[in-house]
């Protein structure tokens, strides 16, 4: 039995997220497992690093799977890409040590959020960005972003579905860049709670719109009250960009 690491890209627009929720559910994990089950001739379960929400995309999701098949890594990759839907692609299959675990061995994750910040829609990026018509104050957003960096209890920026033992997470970097009509928000950390990135982005958008002051973020974090956060950014703008091990 070999352990393989899969690097996966997907357009999450028509899926209910990464995690398989039950038989017949339209999820990324479910689609990949169905193809691998046909390949192996027995039920196969894969372990994904990040349980992305419904509608969220990925440039480099990582999963691992244990298989007993007489195929090379390239042949497994080709089989997957032959039978997976066109909005899911496996870019690499690599043989890894038996103890490698996609979720527990991850040290750092990076998400990229895309905002289209013009007074007209972008028909080519409407499925991959959030449209905010009013011009955002990037200077204030960058100021506010600094309050998220470091180790904090992110209960206020979680969802009631978050069932983690601890709500403490460490944000290593949060960068905001404006280019060609887009605002790119890139956030890296040792882990993220359910809806955490989208809630953080929502707060930054509210700061950019002048609806709340940048200085309010430490107060919101300290409150640990989910009702203190307002806007949750749309899932279409969120992309899992990379994972470090």
- In the chain, the percentage of residues whose pLDDT exceeds 70 is 98
Q: How does pLDDT run across 174-187, given as a tens digit for each residue?
A: 999 999 999 999 99
pLDDT at 162: 63
Q: What is the pLDDT of residue 227?
A: 86
Tokens of 124: 């080519």
d(CA 96, CA 4): 6
Q: What is the pLDDT of residue 230?
A: 83
Angle among Cα 51, 243, 73 to the nearest 5 degrees reads 90
Unique residue bearing structure tokens 């204030």: 140
User: Model pTM?
Assistant: 0.94
Does the domain formed by 108-244 have CATH 3.40.50.720?
A: no
- Which secondary structure element, helix H or strand E, spans residue 79, and what is its range? helix 73-83
Residue pLDDT, tens place only, 212-244: 999 999 999 999 998 888 899 999 999 999 999
From the list 11, 53, 87, 153, the catalytic residue is 53
Q: What is the pLDDT of residue 165?
A: 79
2-96 carries CATH number 3.30.420.40:
no
Per-residue DSSP letter, 146 = G
Give residue 155's pLDDT band: very low, low, confident or very high (50, 70, 90): very high
User: Counting beta carbons within 10 angstroms of the beta carbon of residue 1, is it exposed (0 to 12), middle (13 to 18) or buried (19 or more)?
Assistant: exposed
Where exactly are the structural domains of the chain? 2-96, 108-244
The residues, any chain, with a CB within 8 Å of residue 116's CB and separated by 6 or more, are: 122, 125, 126, 129, 130, 131, 132, 181, 182
pLDDT over 80 (residue 71): yes
Q: Where are the beta strands (DSSP E) in the chain?
A: 2-10, 47-48, 57-67, 88-96, 108-116, 130-131, 150-153, 168-179, 182-189, 238-244
Assess whether the region 2-96 and the region 108-244 belong to the same CATH fold.
yes
Structure tokens at 44: 């196969």
pLDDT of residue 112: 98
Distance of CA 71 to the CA centre of its chain: 31
Q: Is 87 a catalytic residue?
A: no
Q: What is the pLDDT of residues 87-126, one digit of tens each?
A: 999 999 999 999 999 999 999 999 999 999 999 999 999 9
Average of per-residue pLDDT values in the chain: 95
Average pLDDT over residues 200-212: 97
Q: 3-state class of 44 per DSSP?
A: coil
CA quadruple 202, 55, 89, 69: dihedral, nearest 10: 110
Residue 86 has pLDDT above 80, yes or no: yes
For residue 125, the model assigns a pLDDT of: 96
Question: What does the pLDDT look like over 19-36, one tens digit per residue?
Answer: 987 765 799 999 999 999
pLDDT at residue 16, as a whole number = 94
Q: Could you tell me which residue, 245 or 161, shows the higher pLDDT?
A: 245
What is the C-alpha separation between 243 and 17, in angstroms, rounded? 18
- Contact criterion met (CB below 8 Å) for 95 and 3: yes
């Amino acid at each position: 039995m070999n352990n393989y690491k899969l690097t996966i890209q997907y357009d999450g627009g028509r899926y209910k997220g990464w995690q398989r929720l039950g038989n017949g559910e339209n999820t990324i994990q479910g689609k990949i497992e169905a193809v691998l089950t046909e390949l192996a001739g027995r039920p196969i379960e894969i372990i994904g690093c990040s349980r992305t929400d419904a509608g969220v995309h990925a440039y480099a999701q990582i999963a691992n799977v244990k298989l007993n098949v007489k195929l090379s890594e390239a042949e497994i990759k080709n089989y997957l890409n032959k039978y997976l839907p066109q909005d899911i692609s496996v870019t690499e299959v690599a043989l890894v040590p038996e103890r490698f675990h996609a979720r527990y061995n991850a040290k750092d994750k990076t998400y990229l959020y895309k905002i289209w910040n013009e007074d007209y829609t972008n028909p080519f990026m409407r499925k991959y960005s959030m449209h905010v018509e009013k011009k955002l104050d990037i200077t204030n957003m960058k100021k506010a972003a600094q309050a998220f960096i470091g180790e904090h209890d992110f209960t206020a920026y979680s969802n009631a579905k978050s069932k983690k033992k601890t709500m403490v997470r460490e944000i290593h970097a949060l960068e905001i860049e404006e280019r060609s009509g887009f605002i790119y928000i890139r956030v890296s950390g040792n882990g993220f709670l359910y809806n955490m990135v989208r809630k953080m982005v929502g707060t930054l958008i509210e700061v950019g719109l002048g609806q709340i002051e940048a200085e309010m973020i430490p107060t919101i974090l300290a409150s640990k009250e989910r009702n203190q956060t307002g806007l949750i950014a749309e899932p279409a703008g969120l992309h899992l960009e990379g994972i470090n091990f």
